[in-house]
């Protein structure tokens, strides 16, 4: 496994390869990341994983400084998973000058849900992903990049960006890896204390309940949905959570369902704080 710190180093390592398969991460790797890496190995002729905690996607009060940085453990896991190249730029390698030129994703998709509660988040994400794509894929006629469905809205924003800029990159979504109790794996799970870790699965259970209540509503769904969502929010709040949103949306555009939308076209998504930890999750209905 090779390690590239700078874009020229990365490009040199990739020069002999035809189709990079790329997994962008912020490090502190878990089995969800490693499942993407294993999938990537089947899809390209060089597997590249980036590790970069991107300041641009964090609000000033968020956890940029405390975000776990676990370089040695990450490298050991990537080596064992069969990664070929780790791209771990320093901030000055990726942002040698202030990033005044930014991506502005469609507000209809990016200013709702995560974007409502983390304003500017998807500008930060899509800007760094565009920069990472440029570092990894320039000079390549084909490539593939993999993202987890745990970050459902992020995957949609990136798909839209790639489509609208006709980048020659296939975007592949990997299923959400879960702990045995059903909690979605996430780097931020490491912030939870023992009691919170036991409680944490309740976010996914609340989403499952919302999904099954919504299916039971059948044709009455558009009228009943606000009440069902409110009930789900209150149930989590009663357990001590501070939910940002628990909602049922259309998979196609993350807008509210309309009469006639069936289960297969819907997704439940949620974000909530337990203590100081903010968790997100979703299920396709």
Which residues here bind ligand ATP, judged by CB under 6 A? 25-26, 32-33, 35-36, 147-148, 150-151, 174, 176-177, 184-188
Site residues (vs ligand PAF, CB under 6 A): 24-26, 54, 57, 125, 128-129, 151, 154
Q: Which does 185 bind (CB under 5 to 8 A by kind): ligand PAF, ligand BAL, ligand ATP, none?
A: ligand ATP
61 as an active site residue: the answer is no
Q: Which does 130 bind (CB under 5 to 8 A by kind): ligand PAF, ligand ATP, ligand BAL, none?
A: none
229 contact partners, CB below 8 Å, separation of at least 6: 210, 246, 247, 248
Cβ proximity to ligand PAF, 61 vs 180, nearer residue: 61
39, 47, 50, 57: residue in contact with ligand BAL (rule CB under 6 A): 57
**Tokens in use for 41?**
């190995």
Q: Which does 176 bind (CB under 5 to 8 A by kind): ligand BAL, ligand ATP, ligand PAF, none?
A: ligand ATP
**Tokens in use for 188?**
């931020």
Nearest to 21 by CA among 39, 51, 49, 47: 47
Let me know: does 57 contact 48? Beta carbons within 8 Å. Answer: no
Cβ proximity to ligand PAF, 150 vs 202, nearer residue: 150
281 binds ligand BAL (CB under 6 A): no
Cβ proximity to ligand ATP, 176 vs 202, nearer residue: 176
Cα 127 to Cα 4: distance, rounded to the nearest angstrom: 20
CA geometry: angle at 42 spanning 90 and 157, to 5°? Answer: 55
Least distance (Å) between residue 148 CB and ligand PAF: 7
Nearest to 21 by CA among 37, 8, 6, 4: 37
Least distance (Å) between residue 246 CB and ligand PAF: 21
CB atoms closer than 10 angstroms to residue 98: 6
Beta-ladder partners of 86? 3, 49
Q: Which residues are catalytic?
A: 33
């Amino acid at each position: 496994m090779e390690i590239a710190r700078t874009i020229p180093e990365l490009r040199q390592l990739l020069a002999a390869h035809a189709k990079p398969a790329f997994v962008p991460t912020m490090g502190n790797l878990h089995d969800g990341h490693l499942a993407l890496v294993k999938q990537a190995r089947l899809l390209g002729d060089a597997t590249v994983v980036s590790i970069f905690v991107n300041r641009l996607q964090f609000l000033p009060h968020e956890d940029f400084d405390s975000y776990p940085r676990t370089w040695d453990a990450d490298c050991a896991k990537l080596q064992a998973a069969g990664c070929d190249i780790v791209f771990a730029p320093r901030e000055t390698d990726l942002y040698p000058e202030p990033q005044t030129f930014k991506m502005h994703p469609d507000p209809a998709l990016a200013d709702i849900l995560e974007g409502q509660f983390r304003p500017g988040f998807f500008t930060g994400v899509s800007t760094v992903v565009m920069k990472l794509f440029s570092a990894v894929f320039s000079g390549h006629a084909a490539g593939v990049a993999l993202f987890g469905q745990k970050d459902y809205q992020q995957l949609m924003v990136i798909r839209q960006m790639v489509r609208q800029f006709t980048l020659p990159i296939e975007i592949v979504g990997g299923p959400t890896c879960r702990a045995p109790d059903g909690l979605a794996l996430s780097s931020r799970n490491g912030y939870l204390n023992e009691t919170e870790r036991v409680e944490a699965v309740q976010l996914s259970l609340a989403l499952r309940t919302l999904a099954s209540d919504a299916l039971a509503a059948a044709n009455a769904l558009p009228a009943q949905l606000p009440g069902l969502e409110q009930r789900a929010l209150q149930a989590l709040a009663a357990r001590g959570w501070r939910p940002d949103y628990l909602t049922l949306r259309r998979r196609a555009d993350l807008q509210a369902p309309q009469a006639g939308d069936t289960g297969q076209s819907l997704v439940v998504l949620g974000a909530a704080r337990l203590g100081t930890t903010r968790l997100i999750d979703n299920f396709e209905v």
